[in-house]
Amino acid sequence: MTTTMVRPEQASQPSTSAYFSVRDIHAYYGESYIVQGVSFEINEGDVVALLGRNGAGKSSTLRTIARAAEPELRGGEIWLRGEAIHEMKDYQAAQKGIQLVQEDRRIIPGLSVEENLQLAQIAEPLGWPLEKIYQHFPRLAERRKQEGITLSGGEQQMLAVARALARDIKLLLLDEPYEGLAPVIVREIEGIVRQIKDLGITTIIVEQNAVAALQLSNRALILDMGRIVYDGSPEELLENEQLRNQYLAI
């Protein structure tokens, strides 16, 4: 893949025929202009690292794609498999296969591991059955009757990812999957993401640990001040010290 340094005024518009694309999206928290004309497209099965410094707009871009109530999308288009996601609410986007695993994991208090997973499957379309989830997440199988919020941080992250896979998933959005985890647990979560990659699930990862995210990805994007400034291969980014220092501080 050829490295591209992107000037916003020169950014090409992704086609609506791509597996997934965003076209010139603009999103706001109140009057704070956070996502400022982001455009890119993704092939089916890609794992994309969406990187940038704190405050660059990475998590806001994921939330916009998932059609969360905030930030508010005030311009642009989001397409998944030819369907106009930008016209949908969050629950409708989820029904179309966009699953966001947020940084705080959103484990439901009072419910066991298994009940958290079952709740994700109360409405069509369904994803992985429990048997398949437990096959890929044996730790969750061991703790299926344990209350979800009493799990360790790493186990809660496993549960959050498994819950997304319990739905009919077409695009997985991982927001800071390693946040607050010990290095040994990070390696476990990395293993799970590698499984997801091997299964061909199209994924966008936002992660402050840029090196870890790049090692799992086949594509890298950098956001700066709410705009895409780099689109290229992870290998080229890792080798470009000037670019890493300028936008990632690594």
Two tokens at 161? 């990812």
pLDDT at position 1, please?
40
Residue 9 clears pLDDT 50, i.e. is over it: no
Which tens digits make up the pLDDT trace of 159-171?
999 999 999 999 9
Of the candidate ranges 4-13, 112-121, 202-211, the one whose mean pLDDT is the lowest: 4-13
Rg of the chain over Cα atoms, rounded to whole angstroms, equals: 18
Q: Are strands 203-206 and 171-175 parallel, antiparallel or unpaired?
A: parallel
Average pLDDT, the chain: 91
Which tens digits make up the pLDDT trace of 64-75?
999 999 999 999
pLDDT at position 10, please?
44
Q: How far apart are CA 177 and CA 205, in angstroms?
A: 8
Helix or strand or coil: residue 248? coil
Which tens digits make up the pLDDT trace of 90-145?
999 999 999 999 988 889 999 999 999 999 998 888 999 999 999 999 999 999 99
Of the candidate ranges 113-122, 158-167, 184-193, 197-206, the one whose mean pLDDT is the lowest: 184-193
Q: Is 174:193 a contact under the CB 8 Å cutoff? A: yes
Please give the residue that has the higher pLDDT: either 182 or 234: 234
Q: How far apart are CA 44 and CA 141, in angstroms?
A: 30
Return the beta strands (E) in 121-245 as ranges: 171-175, 203-206, 219-224, 227-232
Domain ranges of the chain: 44-67+89-247
CATH superfamily of 44-67+89-247: P-loop containing nucleotide triphosphate hydrolases (3.40.50.300)
Q: Report which DSSP code applies to 120.
A: T
Which tens digits make up the pLDDT trace of 50-64?
999 999 999 999 999
